[in-house]
Structure 1
Amino acid sequence: MKRLSSLNQLLLTIQHIYINTFALFIKKETVTYHCPVNFLATQNTVVFNILDDGAVGDGIHDNTDSIRRTILRATDHQAPCTVLVPGGDFLTGSLQIPSNVTFYLAANATLRASDNASHYSCVPSMTSDTGPCDYPFLLVDHAHDVHLRGEGRIDAGANSPPGHLVREYRPASNMLIPTEWKLPNCSYYSCRPKLLVVRYSSSVELTNITIMNSPLWTVTIVESENILFDHVTIVGDRRWPNNDGIDLINSRHVTIRNSNITTGDDCIAIMSHGPSSMFNITVENMDLQSTSAGIKVSAYERNSTGDMYDMVFRNVRINDTNRGLCVAPRWGSGRIANLLFEQMSIETRFFGLDWWGTAEPIYITGLSANAERAWTGLMKNVTFRHIVARGEQGFLVRGNTSILQDIYFSNVSLTIARWSNVSEHPSLDYRPSQEPQTSQANVDGLFAMDTNGLYLENIEIEYSEPKQYYYGQCLNISNVTQLIKTNIQCRNANFLTSGQTNWKAIDKIVIVFFFVILALFIILL
């Protein structure tokens, strides 16, 4: 028994080193947020300076008309050109950026959003949760070849200065309740401006720019293609609901890279809200922090019939976040397929039930929102590999056998620990769902249910000391067909596993190989 125990310990140690070594290869690139000083001088472009149209950068003067005049001059130029926002604090109402324009914010430039509702106009919305109208601060509509860049920043003023646009503070959940604006044709709980909306456009780039303090979604990309985010910083108050970083809606050929996003709501949300397909989405070399989800893929509209496929998320660091990776359609009938999440580090903690999620590093569910809002689509071929995770909750995979299939975990390690100061312990959270919204349950390393095809390879799960009373099982698996497990290691769980054990050929090969090695080891001794 001592020899067997020593061999097991040796194998466990080797696997632990192998899996966690991948954390060293999650590349942390040095991100700089500036353009060369002589950027404009090196560009073969005509520059229109907003100062020439009377703009005043004192943070008080209303520059709406002045900046709109500058943009109109750029439009009339009818050739690629640049609108320059020089150093200063420029208060303005909503602006629309046309085709072939680079909107450049120089060093020490701030474009500050007005809080005067009359400065905003209705743009038809694609989402039922915001009502018929969106009210964007910046709009790119049916345009092409638009660039937002520079060393400056765009500030929409949510809780900046502290208390601005704040109606209430809830200390128990550390949540700010925003002021709802008096705007027509919008939902009460989402009646406030979005910072930037890009709709029905192509070849739009955001580079090197800082975008901050949005009252609602920060950047929304709707029915657009060939979109690039590169070296972008998005900052939102961690206590502010619905201030998502980037929302992609029915768009394709999108790259988000080398950027930093901190928000109260989802950092990156990829959503189907119509019949158009979404594909060729790449997210890489990112730093994300959220009181909601780091990355979310979902569908939540009656007409969410478009397919979502061929998406790659790699080299992402998610820290101090309520939910790490989330794939959770709730309404519609499209297909979600071929999603790859790889080379990631994830750290999650529980922020309390006022926020959706209970610190799940990986959360994949295919459930219906309610009887009237049903999800009848297919989710297939979702892969998580080379991931190092630490969280207060385990992984969760839940669906219906007919619509959730072929989920892969490979070379994944998870450490479960307790470090938040929230009084209640993490529970199962299916919101929004016709299932019980939340339910008390033990924290399992992997809870999987109602799935067709679950493949687990080189998985390490450890429960940290001190052991909590709600620690559950390493694997809690039920109603899963085609379950294949290879090299599962678990430490300090109350139980190793429950549910079905499906001995496939690969399991048998591993067992035979193990005993052959053991026999050779004994003979050599």
Structure 2
Amino acid sequence: MAPFLNSKAPHVNGIISGILIMTIGLMSIKSGESSEMPSTFGRIQSNCRKHSAFITEYGGVGDGVTSNTEAFQSAVDNLSQLAAEDGGAVLIVPAGRWLTGSFNLTSHFTLYLDEDAVLLASQDESEWPALPPLPSYGRGRDAPSGRVASLIFGTDLTDVVITGANGTIDGQGDYWWNKFKKGELQLTRPYLIELMFSDHVQIFNLTLLNSPSWNVHPVYCSNVIIKGLTILAPTNSPNTDGINPDSCTNVRIEDCFIVSGDDCIAVKSGWDEYGIQFGMPTQQLLIRRITCISPDSATIALGSEMSGGIRDVRAEDITAIHTESGVRIKTAPGRGAYVRDIFVRRMNLQTMKYVFWMTGNYGSHPDDGYDPRALPIIDGINYSDVTAENVTMAANLAGIDGDKFTGICISNVSIALAEKAKKVQWNCTDIQGVTSNVTPPACNLLPEGDADCPFPDDRLPIEDVQLKTCPSFIRSTDSTPNKFQM
């Protein structure tokens, strides 16, 4: 497990190692190098996709050395001809180590990774196309001129599934992290998975390792389910956010385990004047049953790029261990828009710098074209039923001068302090709200009352969407795969 840890923090390593052993013992680094199709594979059950093919049928070689970029793109292009026919097709990646650069997906399509399959991201930059900046960002995040396409990419798609039997996608991110740290990047680093302007997206039952930057980035998407992901990166790796829903509607994120060098989940919607102009919020977002380890970042971050707005976010049953903060709101003058109607309940936190954190001076602007008079509205922020132990500081809540963060409600919170806790436990400026049954007591700007902070009773539409599970392969003695037929 050593590659995922921060060698500069041995006390963190011990905590993370124990959690990894207990929680994800079933996950192991895949090391098979066979390019042969396993003889135990039979046909996929008919209620998955009617048509199926193996990457080996398109010249794929799973030896960890041969580039498979052309094989993957050829397979997807061929299978795309079945996009609207009988539910589309599935591309199966069997056991092996499949080196590849960036490739695009298609609609009505499933990418399925066997439990012993590893997609290895190529470190040959010629296999990574350049893309223009996202319209809601106006520039790349690492460099102004643009960005590198994600390893698995797609745009304007419908009905896309990326899944497997806990197969692995390894971004081999150290190549990109080193370039970032040396200031050598001409373009923003790639993500592992990015889908744009797409509807009915499902990503589940996978292990993601060592992403060059963000791991999973649905942007301008709707009806998205992200479930059962194990996401691992060194805790000192730069910007390796786990899951970043960005200007998306109707999203469900659940049952994920994330060790990260940045925010485990970062909710976004565009950057300053570009996000304001694009005007697409993230809304109707459900986050539940998430475990996070990130010593220098948040379990869930709202922002800082939130200039299209963030609203109706529901998070529950959240666990964080040795993480900088629980839920953090990050914004600044120039962001505009809003973060409103946020509901969080049942957080269990262990060894935290902050339990509650709101930052109104985050800064970090794309260029000098932002309007400092574009002030964000932060309103209707609700936290309830929080237990935290070994905490340095209960809350650091800083609104904006002349632009208070309002409607803050915090109830039923028990915080046990660390041995070297701060003397002042609640630092509050430019905020307004109430608390109830909170220990240690909150600041004067959050007076004690009898508030019972709300959590919505209605169901979001995404809660009633079922996973498109591709059933496990039928094990048989028939070594002949179900060949793709036109």
TM-score in terms of structure 1 length: 0.69
| 1:377 shift after superposition | 1.8
Aligned twin of 2:169: 154
For the residues of structure 2 that align with 1:39 and 1:348, how far apart are their CA atoms? 48
Aligned twin of 2:31: none
Is 1:344 paired with 2:347?
A: yes
Q: How does 1:240-389 map to 2 (within 5 A)?
A: 240-273=237-270, 274=275, 275-291=279-295, 292-300=297-305, 304=307, 306-330=308-332, 331-349=334-352, 359-367=353-361, 369=363, 374=372, 376-389=375-388
Tell me if the contact between 1:29 and 1:285 (Cα under 8 Å) persists in the aligned partners: no
Q: How does 1:75-474 map to 2 (within 5 A)?
A: 75-78=80-83, 79=85, 80-126=88-134, 127=137, 128=139, 129-130=141-142, 131-135=144-148, 136-151=150-165, 152-159=167-174, 165=176, 167=178, 178=181, 183=186, 186=187, 191-273=188-270, 274=275, 275-291=279-295, 292-300=297-305, 304=307, 306-330=308-332, 331-349=334-352, 359-367=353-361, 369=363, 374=372, 376-390=375-389, 391-400=391-400, 402-418=403-419, 442-451=422-431, 453-461=432-440
What secondary structure sits across from 2:192 in the alignment? strand
| 1:415 shift after superposition | 1.5
Bigger mean CA offset, 281-290 vs 192-201: 192-201
What secondary structure sits across from 1:246 in the alignment? coil
Deviations 1:72-126 (A, max 9, x none): 1111223311011111000011110111110000120001110011111122333
Deviations 1:392-436 (A, max 9, x none): 1221222136441110110011122147xxxxxx8xxxxxxxxxx
| 1:180 shift after superposition | 5.9
Higher relative contact order (CA 8 A, sep 6+): 2
Amino acid at match of 2:320: I
TM-score in terms of structure 2 length: 0.75
Deviations 1:18-52 (A, max 9, x none): xxxxxxxxxx9999889xx9893353421111101
| 1:332 shift after superposition | 1.6
| 1:325 shift after superposition | 1.3
Tell me if the contact between 2:233 and 2:259 (Cα under 8 Å) persists in the aligned partners: yes
Q: CA RMSD of the aligned region, Å?
A: 2.8
- What 5-or-longer segments of structure 1 have no aligned partner? 1-27, 169-176, 350-358, 420-425, 427-441, 462-473, 489-525
| 1:444 shift after superposition | 2.1
For the residues of structure 1 that align with 2:321 and 2:267, how far apart are their CA atoms? 20
| 1:348 shift after superposition | 3.7
Tell me if the contact between 1:31 and 1:231 (Cα under 8 Å) persists in the aligned partners: no
Tell me if the contact between 2:220 and 2:248 (Cα under 8 Å) persists in the aligned partners: yes
Aligned twin of 2:465: none
For the residues of structure 1 that align with 2:43 and 2:396, how far apart are their CA atoms? 48
For the residues of structure 2 that align with 1:196 and 1:46, how far apart are their CA atoms? 24
| 1:280 shift after superposition | 0.3
Amino acid at match of 2:210: N
- What 5-or-longer segments of structure 2 have no aligned partner? 1-21, 29-40, 452-486
Residues paired across the two proteins, number: 391
Amino acid at match of 1:50: I
What secondary structure sits across from 1:360 in the alignment? strand
Q: Which is higher, the Rg of structure 1 or of structure 2?
A: 1
| Structure (1/2) with the larger strand percentage | 1
